[in-house]
């Protein structure tokens, strides 16, 4: 292993923008990042990222403390309890994940990189081409070890004889550690060569010759529509029209999943729940977004181990486990949810062969909107999906799989998804 080096592109050197030109370049990269689909549909995440980057560029990194961010960005009172209200920590984790997702695209490899280190609210920056790597062993040191005993005085030879046993022990220890390092490196290389869970999960959809059908929850039709006057945008005119609406939070999973499939050249069709027919679903694989506002999702998941349930008044909604139906720990209380807008939401992510259509179906559906958003994020996040590996059998990619997720929702916005249960059959 002497002389081996790590590929220089693996490690980027941290860089401090010291001039106005450098700071302007970072600012342009920030604006580019905030304009992507990862941030543009949110208010909370862009506000956080812009705040911390701006403070670092202004030399005010010492002000990036949890309480200060909570007060300045999220309008919390100065004495708010950060242990009870984790909005800053949850937001930072989600922003960190979205930044990593952005730079995973090889098309951004030559851009200035904004990094949010784990456990910190202070962003770091790096430039393309500025890298650091482990240096190779120098020829000078190996030249010294080749010197013979005759080149040293007798005192040195005596010292060698006394310390020879120690040197031998150290050599053995070094060789042992080196062997362990080689074994670990081999294991990492083997793991890196394996296809990701995300790739194997979506492989049947990518390989299908038919377009993917997205079945979206839709809402009631309207008989009128308000249009703005081009000459005076403040002036509105109400015209007779009819249209079907969808929830903006349901669009997030659609954009994430459709965008991911498009990277493989996959085409898709978008249908509203009320206009989707069995004939549509029999043509090819389908993705179902939304639960309690999508009857197709409820029908498809009803026979599964994990499925949606509710009380007759629709005030309590939950994910039920057929193996333990009396346990209701994944529940949303609607009156409480509407009162606080801060709660835990739960979602079902599933991929299975639907016996009615004889086609593969994927479900991305939360009890409430936050869960649906989290499900859509999970399905395109390679790192999150790889967390499934310890709970999957070796041949899982040829089987049906169902995952229950949980996410913390704060002020109507979901945090990162976490795996709560997995079932493969």
Helix axes 44-57, 20-34, angle to 10 degrees: 170
Of 126, 157, 183, the domain-final residue? 126
Q: Among all chains, which residue has been given the structure tokens 């994430």?
A: 256
Burial of 136 (0-12, 13-18, 19+ CB in 10 A): exposed
Q: Indicate whether 304 and 415 sit together in one domain.
A: yes
Judge contact between 291 and 298, C-beta under 8 A.
yes
Q: Indicate whether 121 and 204 sit together in one domain.
A: no
Q: What is the pLDDT of residue 199?
A: 92
Q: Among 36-45, 119-128, 134-143, 360-369, which stretch is predicted with the lowest mean pLDDT?
A: 134-143
Kindly state the DSSP code that residue 137 receives in the 8-state scheme.
P
User: What whole-number percentage of the chain has pLDDT above 70?
Assistant: 80
Distance CA 214, CA 136 (A): 53
Q: pLDDT digit string (tens) for 369-410?
A: 899 999 999 999 988 999 999 999 989 999 999 999 999 988
141 has pLDDT over 60: no
Return the closest-CA partner of residue 374 out of 84, 52, 98.
Answer: 98
Q: Which residues, including other chains, have CB under 8 Å from residue 249's CB and lie 6 or more apart?
A: 369, 370, 372, 373
**Rg of the chain taking only CA atoms, in angstroms:** 28
The pLDDT confidence band at residue 196, using thresholds 50, 70 and 90, is confident
The pLDDT confidence band at residue 415, using thresholds 50, 70 and 90, is confident
Return the closest-CA partner of residue 101 out of 250, 255, 249, 256.
Answer: 256
Tell me how many domains the chain contains: 2
Residues in the chain: 425
Q: Indicate whether 304 and 411 sit together in one domain.
A: yes
Q: pLDDT digit string (tens) for 324-382?
A: 999 989 999 988 887 777 889 999 999 999 999 999 999 999 999 899 999 999 999 98
The pLDDT confidence band at residue 42, using thresholds 50, 70 and 90, is confident
Of 126, 154, 172, the domain-final residue? 126
In a domain, 278, yes or no: yes
Q: What is the pLDDT of residue 129?
A: 65
Of 126, 151, 176, the domain-final residue? 126
Better pLDDT: 133 or 376:
376
Rounded to the nearest integer, the mean pLDDT of the chain is 81
In a domain, 335, yes or no: yes
- The whole domain housing 70 covers 8-126
Q: What is the pLDDT of residue 271?
A: 92
Terminus-to-terminus CA distance in the chain, angstroms? 45
Q: Alpha carbon of 323 to those of 144, 304, 305: distances in Å?
A: 69, 10, 7
In a domain, 82, yes or no: yes
Indicate the pTM of the whole model.
0.57
In a domain, 43, yes or no: yes
Q: What is the pLDDT of residue 167?
A: 43
């Amino acid at each position: 292993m002497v002389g081996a080096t790590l590929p220089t592109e693996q490690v980027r050197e941290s860089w401090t923008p010291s001039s106005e030109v450098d700071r302007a370049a970072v600012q342009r990269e920030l604006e580019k990042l905030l304009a992507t689909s990862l941030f543009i549909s949110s208010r909370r995440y862009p506000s956080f990222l812009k705040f911390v980057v701006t403070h670092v560029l202004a030399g005010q990194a010492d002000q990036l403390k949890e309480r200060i961010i909570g007060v300045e960005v999220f309008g919390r009172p100065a004495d708010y309890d950060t242990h009870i209200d984790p909005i800053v920590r949850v937001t930072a984790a989600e922003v960190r994940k979205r930044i990593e997702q952005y730079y995973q695209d090889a098309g951004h490899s030559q851009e200035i990189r904004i990094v949010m280190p784990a456990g910190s609210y202070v962003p770091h920056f790096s430039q393309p081409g500025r890298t650091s790597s482990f240096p190779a062993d120098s020829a000078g040191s190996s030249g010294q070890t080749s010197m013979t005993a005759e080149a040293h005085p007798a005192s040195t030879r005596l010292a060698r004889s006394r310390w020879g046993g120690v040197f031998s022990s150290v050599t053995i220890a070094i060789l042992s550690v080196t062997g362990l390092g080689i074994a670990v490196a081999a294991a990492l290389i083997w793991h890196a060569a394996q296809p990701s869970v995300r790739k194997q999960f979506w492989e049947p959809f990518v390989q299908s010759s038919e377009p993917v059908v997205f079945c979206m929850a839709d809402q009631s039709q309207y008989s009128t529509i308000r249009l703005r006057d081009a000459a005076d945008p403040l002036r509105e005119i109400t015209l007779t029209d009819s249209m079907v609406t969808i929830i903006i939070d349901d669009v997030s999973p659609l954009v994430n999943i459709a965008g991911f499939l498009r990277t493989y050249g996959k085409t898709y069709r978008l249908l509203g729940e009320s206009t989707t027919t069995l004939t549509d679903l029999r043509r090819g694989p389908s993705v179902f977004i939304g639960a309690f506002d999508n009857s197709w999702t409820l029908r498809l998941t009803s026979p599964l181990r994990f499925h949606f349930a509710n009380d007759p008044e629709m005030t309590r909604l939950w994910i039920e486990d057929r193996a333990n139906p009396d346990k209701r720990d994944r529940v949303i209380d609607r009156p409480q949810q509407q009162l606080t807008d801060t709660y835990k939401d739960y979602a079902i992510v599933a991929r299975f062969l639907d016996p009615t259509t004889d086609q593969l179906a994927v479900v991305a559906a939360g009890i409430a909107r936050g869960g649906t958003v989290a499900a859509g994020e999970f399905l395109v996040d390679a790192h999150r999906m790889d967390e499934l590996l310890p709970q999957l059998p070796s041949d899982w990619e040829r089987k049906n799989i169902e995952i229950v997720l949980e996410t913390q929702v704060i002020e109507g916005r979901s945090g990162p998804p976490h795996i709560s249960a997995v079932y493969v059959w």
